Amino acid sequence: MTDSATTPPRQPMAALPGGEVTEGGPMLAADGRPLKHSLKRALRREKLRAFLLVSPLLIFILVAFVAPIADMLFRSVENQIVSETLPRTVVALREDQNLPEAAPGEPVYEALYTDLFIAAEYKSHTRLGSRLNYEMTGLSSLFRGTGRDVGRFDTDIYTDQFVEAEPALEDPVAWSNWMADDEIRAALPATADAWDAWVKLTVEANEDDPLEEDVEDFVYTALYRDLSNGAAPAGFPDVDVSGFESVSIKALFEESDEDWVDPEIWQVIKTYSPAYTDGYFLNSVDMMNGPDGDAQWRPADEQIYLKLFWRTMWMSLAITFSCILLGYPIAYLLSTLPLRSANVLMILVLLPFWTSLLVRTSAWKVLLQQQGVINDTLVWLGIVSDANRLALINNATGTVIAMTHILLPFMILPLYSVMKTIPPSYMRAAKSMGANDWTAFWRVWFPLSVPGIGAGSILAFILSIGYYITPEIVGGTEGVFISNRIAYHISSSLNWGLAAALGTILLALVLTLYWVYDRIVGIDNVKLGG
């Protein structure tokens, strides 16, 4: 044993300078701060610099890519147009008990009268009509027609009777004073609401001064309704409306168009009155909201999208598969050739990239049509008779042929770059061990080229599933994809909501397939080279 007096007491280990470890504690830098902290500080500048370097592109992508896509996806469920255009009607419909067996009661029509009058002034009723027309044909013309009539409804009898009973009721300045009084507003809720709408309308839509304009009929109609329910409040002209001649708004609507008393139409309006709807998505899969609010299949003759989705899927698979079939041998050849000859062949592979897509697709039209080069040659060779020329275009065959040609480089390039990384010594090693050419290829080369097939397939499949121009030109009716339908809804039918829903489903489909692929093949196995 050592004499304890001569042994210096053990120093507790702590904060030793020069990157020493404290016992059990974190590593410390020379200045005594934790090493991790110092490292973070040192890297902060680097990170900031990196962020600044990417920020222009990041902002561009956010503005030009992420935001529009998010907006588009949002449109697939967004449905505020009904509640924005017909706010009072939507509220009234919620309380109405008559639907779906019979047309709604008078209060709904009174609300619709106000809403439609205002909508007609803003001309927003036609947009609403178009929107609802997606769900039920005929609604567009219904709204357009009644929008024209609503200003001439016989509700001026209320105006005349009120003005006769109390001439002050004709004066907009007096109105504006009454409507500034909270007690009057509380007692006459419908009138206050109508007045506000009228003021807003006059200022916004007509850019007039409401104090110099004649008060519109719908305000008097609302006043009649309020006063029928109770006596006039203090400060407001006490007009007795019990003797007034009245008119049924419902009858006026029916007079304009008898469809207005059809409960089915009201059911559609009610179904699509919430701000968000699943209607577009149901439509995308050939379903719809039934009268009782449950999802149900559309009539067989209206079903189209599921078939299109299915066709898009299998044709994309067929195209991808043809690309593998045609591209693999080329890529194999390219990767085994000496660099000089490979580069020359590579130019041939890349040549399509330097030619306009439209030109290439149109060239296929020339080649594939019934009186085209291929059919002419086959007839000349006697392989097919003149009467039985092959239908190679304006159908699925045409789309597969043209798309395979267009997407082939996207298959060859990743295949080539993966194959390029397989050292030739692997095949030599396999052969030196006694494997013949086929065994060496199948057991060694092929498994190593699978990541390239994976990358090429994903690329070709995802590109083809959303392809638009080529199917549009050579696809006819039987060879078009879901994307052509999306384009139609974007640019022709203007049903953006449905287009957005179809696009969302397509996006989800691709992501799902990507996930499945990741589970089966593993995304780590996908290489674009290197």
Partner 1 sequence: MANGSSSEAFVEFERVQKSYDGEKLVVKDLNLSLPKGEFLTMLGPSGSGKTTCLMMLAGFETATHGEIRLDGKSINNIPPHKRGIGMVFQNYALFPHMTVGENLSFPLEVRKLSKSEREQKIARALDMVQMGEFKNRRPTQLSGGQQQRIALARALVFEPELVLMDEPLGALDKQLRESLQFEITELAHRLGITVVYVTHDQTEALTMSDRVAVFDDGRIQQLAPPDELYEKPQNSFVAQFIGENNTLEGVVEKIDATSCLVRLDGGEVIDALPVNVSKVGERTRVSIRPERVESNLDRLHPDAHTLPATVQEFIYMGDTFRTRLNVAGRDDFIMKTRNAPDQPRLKPGEQIRIGWLAEDCRALDA
List the one residue from 231, 304, 366, 433 that touches partner 1 (CB under 8 A).
Answer: 433
Interface with partner 1, residue 423, by CB under 8 A: yes
Q: Say if CB 129 and CB 139 are below 8 A apart.
A: yes
Distance (Å, whole) CA 454 – CA 460: 10
Interface with partner 1, residue 458, by CB under 8 A: no
Interface with partner 1, residue 434, by CB under 8 A: yes
For the beta carbon of residue 448, count every other beta carbon within 10 angstroms. 15
Residue 22 tokens, joined: 């404290």
Interface with partner 1, residue 408, by CB under 8 A: no
Interface with partner 1, residue 14, by CB under 8 A: no
Distance (Å, whole) CA 512 – CA 523: 13
Count of residues in contact with partner 1, rule CB under 8 A: 19
Cβ 427 to partner 1 shortest distance, Å? 9
Residue 16, phi then psi, degrees to nearest 5: -80, 135
Interface with partner 1, residue 429, by CB under 8 A: yes
Interface with partner 1, residue 341, by CB under 8 A: no
For residues 246 and 341, which CB has a smaller minimum distance to partner 1 in the complex?
A: 341
Residue 297, phi then psi, degrees to nearest 5: -70, 145
Angle ∠(211,217,223) on CA atoms, nearest 5: 90
Residue 157 tokens, joined: 């009898």
- Written as one letter, the residue type at 148 is R
Considering only 142-150, 263-271, 434-442, 459-467, which stretch makes contact with partner 1 by CB under 8 A?
434-442
Cα distances (Å, whole numbers) of residue 335 to 189, 323, 340, 412? 81, 17, 11, 11
List the one residue from 435, 462, 521, 523 that touches partner 1 (CB under 8 A).
Answer: 435
Interface with partner 1, residue 237, by CB under 8 A: no
For residues 179 and 430, which CB has a smaller minimum distance to partner 1 in the complex?
A: 430
Distance (Å, whole) CA 271 – CA 295: 11
Per DSSP, 216 falls in state P
For residues 229 and 436, which CB has a smaller minimum distance to partner 1 in the complex?
A: 436
Interface with partner 1, residue 442, by CB under 8 A: no
Distance (Å, whole) CA 81 – CA 280: 14
In the chain, what's the furthest Cα-to-Cα distance?
A: 123
Q: How many helices (H) and strands (E) does the chain have?
A: 26, 2
List the one residue from 15, 443, 515, 528 that touches partner 1 (CB under 8 A).
Answer: 443
Cβ 415 to partner 1 shortest distance, Å? 17
Interface with partner 1, residue 440, by CB under 8 A: yes
Cα–Cα nearest to 258, from 142, 153, 155: 142
List the one residue from 246, 432, 491, 512 that touches partner 1 (CB under 8 A).
Answer: 432
List the one residue from 119, 400, 403, 430 that touches partner 1 (CB under 8 A).
Answer: 430
Cα–Cα nearest to 510, from 468, 448, 462: 462
Residues 42-71 that bind partner 1 (CB under 8 A): none
List the one residue from 444, 458, 482, 486 that touches partner 1 (CB under 8 A).
Answer: 444
List the one residue from 32, 189, 447, 522 that touches partner 1 (CB under 8 A).
Answer: 447
List the one residue from 55, 341, 436, 491 that touches partner 1 (CB under 8 A).
Answer: 436
Residues that bind partner 1 (CB under 8 A): 423, 425-426, 428-437, 439-440, 443-444, 447-448
